[in-house]
């Protein structure tokens, strides 16, 4: 059917088209603008659910991408408009289209420049979706950059007191990484004569003779491109020590911006490692897997300690993202280390670790978005995020307190909720491959419980601060509508992760087996 063949294009460009519609609405019609943006953002989610139901993990084990769309784009440089998804990227598309309408609904309390806010949010959705769908390297870079600009303005125009500093720091860090990514993209395109990722996956890892520019050798070109990719994606994750932009950006961003920044934008870097670094550079990834595991461990431990030391509620949650994304990187490092092995046990551990990393990306997107939203709920009422200013709020807002406890436990990794499943898979898979790094990471896991319980204690328990009686009111129906879908998914994935892991596992198994065969040739 025609719709099914072009469904990715519909999902990708519908938010951008909706942004144009929002632009035509008079700026005084605030409710029209808000509801048009919300309804328009729900349509890509509905189409993604349709695509998920039509996706068949076993349809063609030798070619994992489905719903492919391929048109000539820049013929002179052999670049194509090539879209497609496998189980990994489709899971990220589902996460993006789910969180965007929830973040928009959470932003209904925005009062200034509402039209500009909603337009930027819809354009941001298109940029993020394009990264997950692109099967052309140049197209990947274009969408990577498109997502940068709206987030910069969301922080700079609607952020907190230090928004100018935070937005500039966010922009400089990500542009710094993007420059290397652009250089690597150009090098690969010039030396191979194509930007098509499906073709590059087949020829780039083992290629030895090329028309190499500037008289560079093939190993030199590969080394430059490899490190350019690694630095760009490490900044975006962010991997320690490239993480310092994240707490500032999160702290100053509006609530909806923090939700999408933690829920989706951080996943772009991890997705870049999985989609580009591992299959294009299996030997280099295997050689430096130990270093990547060390950086992941540093992120897990230092992120947890950093969160534990915070008194700003939002900054605590921001540092927790560094901690949780460290497990994603640990799973990626473990899989990279196993690339050259033919041992079935090691390959199985690599599969488990990478499955856990992808599932952790999805699960962290749910719990982090939920936590940032709940911080925003209490901040809208109290106008402070200082944990020392709270105390005993459960007595006056029991529904909010219950929701905060539930979401915090999902973030902590309580068995029966989603965070436990993904982190367990990462630890189980990485234990046999990166044992020392995994063992040290348990320090971070211990302090994860410490900072979560610290936040709950300061906000909900202890003597009631009388200042908040009559000022801090119960969570309202609109806010419950934002958090409820996230809570449902946290619970469902805790007991039944197979519906999400099935397509992910098929894609992970394909790439682990394909890359292991290539690496074995060397």
The DSSP string of 290-345 is: HHHHHHHHHHHHHHHHHHHT--BHHHHHHHHHHHHHHHHHHHHHHHHHTTT---HH
The pLDDT of residue 99 is: 95
Tracing tokens 């410490």 back to the chain, one arrives at 450
Q: Give the pLDDT confidence of 44-70 residue by residue, as tens digits.
A: 999 999 999 998 876 565 668 888 888
Query: Dmax over Cα atoms in the chain, in whole Å?
Result: 74
Q: State how far the Cα of 100 lies from the Cα of 256, in Å rounded to an integer.
A: 9
d(CA 150, CA 199): 32
What average pLDDT score do residues 202-208 get? 73
* Contact call for residues 516 and 339 (beta carbons, < 8 A): yes
- Answer whether residue 361 shows pLDDT above 80: yes
Q: Residue 219 has what pLDDT?
A: 74
How high does pLDDT run on average in the chain? 87
Report if pTM > 0.95.
no
> DSSP of 41-96, one letter per residue?
HHHHHHHHHHHHHH--TTS-TT---EEEEEEEEEGGGTEEEEEEE-HHHHHHHHHH
d(CA 518, CA 522): 7
Helix (H, G, I), strand (E, B) or coil at 384: coil
Range in 96-100, 165-169, 243-247, 460-464 the model is least confident about: 243-247
- 295, 412 in Cβ contact below 8 A? no
d(CA 256, CA 150) in angstroms, rounded, equals 13
Residue 397, phi then psi, degrees to nearest 5: -135, 70
Percentage helix, strand, coil for the chain under 3-state DSSP, each rounded to 5: 75, 5, 20
Annotate 304-328 with b (16+ C-beta within 10 A) or e (fewer).
Answer: bbbbbebebbbbbbbbbbbbbbbbb
pLDDT tens by residue, 444-474: 888 888 899 999 999 999 888 888 888 888 8
Burial label, 38 (beta-carbon count in 10 A; 0-12, 13-18, 19+):
middle
User: Taking a C-beta distance cutoff of 8 angstroms, is the pair 254, 159 a contact?
Assistant: yes
Degrees to nearest 5, angle at CA 8 with 100 and 487: 30
137 token code pair: 């390297």
pLDDT of res. 373: 94
The Cα–Cα gap between 405 and 475 comes to 14
Question: Residue 519 above 60 pLDDT?
Answer: no
Q: Which of 343-347, 352-356, 359-363, 432-436 is the least confident region?
A: 343-347
When pLDDT is cut at 50, 70 and 90, the band that residue 341 belongs to is low
- Give the residue among 293, 366, 482, 481 at the shortest CA–CA distance from 91: 366
Weakest-pLDDT range from 123-127, 148-152, 246-250: 246-250
In angstroms, the CA 429 to CA 346 distance is: 9
| For the chain, percent of residues with pLDDT exceeding 70 | 94
Do 330 and 474 contact (CB within 8 A), yes or no?
no
- pLDDT band of 435, cuts 50, 70, 90: confident
CA 67 → CA 15, 47, 93, distances in Å? 19, 12, 13
pLDDT for residue 522: 54
- Per-residue DSSP letter, 473: P
**Cα separations in angstroms, 118 against 39, 132, 307:** 12, 22, 31
Beta bridge partner(s), residue 134: 83
Least confidently predicted of 85-89, 198-202, 255-259, 512-516:
512-516
């Amino acid at each position: 059917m025609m719709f099914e063949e072009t469904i990715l294009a519909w999902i990708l460009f519908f938010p951008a088209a909706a942004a144009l519609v929002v632009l035509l609405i008079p700026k005084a019609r605030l409710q029209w603008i808000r509801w048009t943006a919300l309804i328009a953002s729900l349509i890509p989610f509905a189409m993604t659910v349709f695509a998920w139901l039509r996706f068949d993990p076993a349809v063609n084990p030798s070619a994992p991408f489905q719903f492919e769309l391929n048109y000539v784009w820049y013929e002179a440089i052999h670049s194509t408009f090539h879209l497609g998804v496998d189980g990994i990227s489709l899971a990220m598309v589902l996460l993006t289209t789910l969180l965007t309408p929830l973040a928009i609904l959470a932003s209904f309390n925005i009062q200034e420049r509402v039209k500009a806010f909603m337009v930027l949010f819809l354009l941001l959705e298109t940029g993020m979706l394009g990264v997950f769908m692109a099967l052309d390297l140049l197209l990947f870079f274009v969408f990577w950059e498109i997502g940068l600009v709206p987030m910069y303005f969301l922080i700079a125009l609607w952020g907190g007191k230090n928004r100018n500093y935070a937005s500039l720091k966010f922009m400089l860090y990500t542009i710094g990484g993007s420059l290397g990514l652009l250089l690597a993209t150009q090098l690969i395109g010039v030396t191979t004569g194509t930007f098509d990722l499906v073709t590059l996956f087949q020829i780039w890892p083992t290629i030895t003779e090329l028309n190499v520019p500037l008289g560079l050798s093939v190993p030199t070109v590969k080394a430059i491109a490899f490190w350019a990719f690694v630095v760009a994606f490490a900044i975006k994750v962010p991997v320690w020590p490239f993480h310092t932009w994240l707490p500032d950006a999160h702290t100053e961003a509006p609530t909806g911006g923090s939700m999408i920044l933690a829920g989706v934008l951080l996943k772009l870097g991890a997705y870049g490692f999985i989609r580009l670094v591992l299959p294009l550079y299996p030997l280099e990834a295997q050689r430096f897997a130990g270093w990547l595991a060390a950086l992941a461990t540093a992120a897990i431990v230092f992120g947890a300690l950093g969160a534990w030391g915070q008194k700003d509620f939002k900054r605590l949650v921001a540092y927790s993202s560094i901690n949780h994304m460290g497990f994603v990187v640990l799973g990626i490092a473990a899989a990279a280390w196993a690339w050259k092995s033919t041992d079935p046990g090691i390959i199985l551990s690599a599969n488990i670790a990478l499955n856990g990393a992808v599932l952790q990306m999805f699960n962290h997107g749910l719990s982090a978005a939920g936590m940032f939203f709940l911080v925003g709920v209490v901040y809208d009422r109290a106008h402070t995020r200082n944990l020392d200013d709270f105390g005993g709020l459960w007595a006056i807002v029991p529904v909010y307190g219950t929701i905060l406890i539930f979401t915090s436990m999902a973030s902590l990794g309580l068995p029966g909720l989603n965070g436990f499943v993904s982190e367990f898979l990462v630890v189980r898979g990485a234990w046999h491959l990166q044992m020392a790094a995994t063992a040290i990471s348990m320090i971070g896991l211990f302090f994860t419980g410490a900072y979560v319980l610290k936040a709950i204690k300061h906000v909900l328990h202890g003597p009631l601060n009388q200042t908040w009686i009559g000022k801090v009111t119960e969570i309202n129906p609109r806010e419950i509508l934002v958090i409820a879908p996230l809570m449902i998914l946290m619970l469902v994935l805790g007991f039944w992760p197979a519906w999400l892991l099935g397509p992910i596992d098929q894609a992970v198994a394909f790439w682990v087996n394909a890359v292991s065969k290539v690496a074995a040739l060397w």
